Amino acid sequence: MGNSAGRSDFEWVYTDQPHTQRRKEMLAKYPAIKALMRPDPHLKWLVLGLVLAQLLACWLVRGLAWRWLLFWAYAFGGCVNHALTLAIHDISHNTAFGTGHPAHNRWFAVFANLPLGVPYASSFKKYHVDHHRYLGGDGLDVDVPTRLEGWLFCTPARKLLWLALQPFFYSLRPLCVHPKAMTRMEVFNALAQLAANATIFTLWGPKPMVYLLASSLLGLGLHPISGHFVAEHYMFLKGHETYSYYGPLNWITFNVGYHMEHHDFPSIPGCNLPLVRKIAPEYYDHLPQHYSWVKVLWDFVSEDSLGPYARVKRVCKLAKDGL
């Protein structure tokens, strides 16, 4: 048991994250990028469509056999619920209604959360700001696996299990690495989710609730779209800690694949991230990138050099101001 092959520790660096300096340089050279820092006018309507699609699916699966319910939860519901988590990611940067309406964004994220079956949106926002501010920060960035994960999930079979259980690790890791006091918005998020779950169960019975929960667990686990979890920051090439993917799955994931661009400019909505690369191609075209999230998952499982330990870590000083 333990790390029998591959890495035995994280990749520790003693430099600041690269995105802060890149952002300053790019804004000085291309001030037009600032114009892209505006709300996405289509985001609220896309989210509404996804939520309604899952409500329709809940009605349709009432009489389905369990095996078909699970099939559609993976093939359809998993894609929709994963897309909703990425919409929540975009909304956490105030891209639905703009920075001038933070409460609107927070409550809209709670609405987007409803088909997931578990309260997620408010807790995600609370920790995600630290992921940007302290990228790879020891004890601060809860996107980085724990030492226990790195030590235990080190063989192909265990890494496969780790990928399948990603929803659990992403939910529990913040409580171990950087616990924070529960906020009032998290309470509201939980109450809204309980009310939605109870309504669906009362109207249509247990199968729709199983469908929604399975959609979240399967769609965020061993699923092609989940390749972005690994593709974004796992160190496939030494010296590079953030990677972009420019393939077609961006069409259903709010351009989360444009991850280098996103960390350079977190306040730019996903719909505008391709324009950042178009304006400043010399900052992106030469960087290593991923071409397939499925291949990312395959390489992660099969290559000894990759695993939960394949992350850049640094010691960060706590910031006093917001992002």
Q: Give tens-digit pLDDT for 53-62.
A: 999 999 999 9
pLDDT reading at 322 higher than 60: no
Residue 3 or 318, more confident:
318
- Phi and psi at residue 11, to the nearest 5°: -90, 95
Residue pair 291/220 in contact (Cβ under 8 Å)? The answer is no
The encoded tokens of residue 240 equal: 């590079």
- Among 258, 184, 201, 215, smallest CA distance to 76 is for 215
- Among 144, 137, 110, smallest CA distance to 323 is for 137
- Tally of helices (H runs) and strands (E runs) in the chain: 15, 4
pLDDT reading at 298 higher than 90: yes
DSSP bridge pairs for 137: 314
pLDDT reading at 177 higher than 90: yes
The encoded tokens of residue 154 equal: 């080190």
pLDDT reading at 291 higher than 70: yes
Mean pLDDT of the chain: 95
Signed CA dihedral, 67, 111, 37, 323: sign only: negative
pLDDT of residue 6: 77
Residue pair 91/109 in contact (Cβ under 8 Å)? The answer is yes
- Phi and psi at residue 314, to the nearest 5°: -150, 160
Q: CA–CA separation, 236 vs 289, rounded Å?
A: 10
pLDDT reading at 320 higher than 90: no
pLDDT of residue 323: 45
Residue pair 233/134 in contact (Cβ under 8 Å)? The answer is no
Q: What is the dihedral of CA 135, 189, 183, 100, to 10 degrees?
A: 70
CA 55 to chain centre: 23
pLDDT of residue 221: 96
Q: Give tens-digit pLDDT for 232-276.
A: 999 999 999 999 999 999 999 999 999 999 999 999 999 999 999
Q: CA–CA separation, 261 vs 132, rounded Å?
A: 12
Residue 141 or 321, more confident:
141
Angle at the Cα of 264 from the Cα atoms of 259 and 267, rounded to 5 degrees: 90
Q: What is the largest CA-CA distance in the chain?
A: 59
pLDDT of residue 1: 35
The pLDDT-based confidence of 317 (bands split at 50, 70, 90) is confident
- Other beta carbons less than 10 A from residue 14's beta carbon: 6
The encoded tokens of residue 317 equal: 């000083």
Amino acid at 251: W
